[in-house]
Amino acid sequence: MMVIQAGASLVVGSLVEYGFAFDRVYQGFSIVLLVIFLVLLGLYSTNRLPERTKS
């Protein structure tokens, strides 16, 4: 988990260093997260997500 968090910090820091506003970076991340959530919700509601197999 720490590797993912460190990678996200690197991306945020790099984008801010390149001149993007800190608030805009987080707004962009929240939009991406919302899109992923909506796609997964759509897949779930149409039963297109794989189901767990019993072993």
Q: What is the pLDDT of residue 1?
A: 67
Cα–Cα dist 40/47, whole Å: 10
CA gap 7, 40 in Å, rounded: 23
pLDDT in tens, 1-55: 677 778 888 999 999 999 999 999 999 999 999 999 999 999 999 999 988 887 7
3-state secondary structure of 52: coil
CA distance 14 to 50: 36
Whether 25 and 16 have beta carbons less than 8 Å apart is answered as yes
Torsional class of 47: left (φ above 0), alpha (ψ -120 to 50), beta (otherwise): left
